[in-house]
Amino acid sequence: MDDVALSNLAAELGAALKVRGYTLALAESCTGGMVAEAVTSVAGSSAWFDRGFVTYSNQAKVEMLGVSTQTLDIFGAVSEQTAIEMAVGALKNSHAQMTGSISGIAGPDGGTPEKPVGTVCFAWADAHKPTSTTTKYFKGNRQEIRQQATIELMTGLIDRLNGND
């Protein structure tokens, strides 16, 4: 997916947020702010995008989002449990009504047999629904995995906003 397609998806996300009067915060790890970049490529996104947290290290996840060191020790940074705490932490540390989080292994190194390169965990949180999660296994190089994760997070946000979760 090219930059125009990502921008179009971000515009769709923005329109869905505006309809509900919501603002968005993001908590990203392996995407390094790629979702925030797509979102802020949309003119007028300041009306519906509050902030983004790029918490690449475990320490940043703890300090900026309140992720529990116990969660990181037991489940690892790449886990749905960590993704939930990231999304909830972004909600608590922003003025947003909806958040999404990403934590994964984009490669080319860092994978294990249990969590191979391409493993990415997601969570979506808002004040009106239970937090939801999923784990996906993407194929491709580092850039392709990061792009697929960006698309997945935005698509999940749109689905949630449209009641398709």
With a cut of 90, say whether residue 21 has pLDDT above it: yes
With a cut of 70, say whether residue 32 has pLDDT above it: yes
With a cut of 70, say whether residue 161 has pLDDT above it: yes
Residues 50, 72: Cα–Cα separation, whole Å: 26
* Region of 66 on the Ramachandran plot (φ > 0 left; ψ -120 to 50 alpha; else beta): left
pTM score of the predicted model: 0.96
What pLDDT score was predicted for residue 102? 98
With a cut of 70, say whether residue 118 has pLDDT above it: yes
Q: Rounded to the nearest 5°, which phi and psi values hold at 27?
A: -130, 110
pLDDT band for position 1 (50/70/90)? Answer: low
Q: Which CATH number fits domain 3-161: 3.20.20.100, 3.40.50.300, 3.40.50.970, 3.90.950.20?
A: 3.90.950.20
With a cut of 90, say whether residue 129 has pLDDT above it: no
With a cut of 90, say whether residue 68 has pLDDT above it: yes
The burial of 110, by beta-carbon neighbours within 10 Å (0-12 exposed, 13-18 middle, 19 or more buried), is given as: middle
Q: What is the largest CA-CA distance in the chain?
A: 43
CA dihedral 25, 30, 34, 36 (to 10 degrees): 10
Q: Find the angle CA(8)-CA(10)-CA(16) to the nearest 5 degrees.
A: 105
With a cut of 70, say whether residue 165 has pLDDT above it: no
The rounded mean pLDDT for the chain is: 96
Instruction: Copy the structure tokens of residue 32.
Output: 């390094």
pLDDT band for position 127 (50/70/90)? Answer: confident
Q: What percent of the chain has pLDDT over 70?
A: 99
What pLDDT score was predicted for residue 12? 97
Q: What is the mean pLDDT of residues 19-39?
A: 97
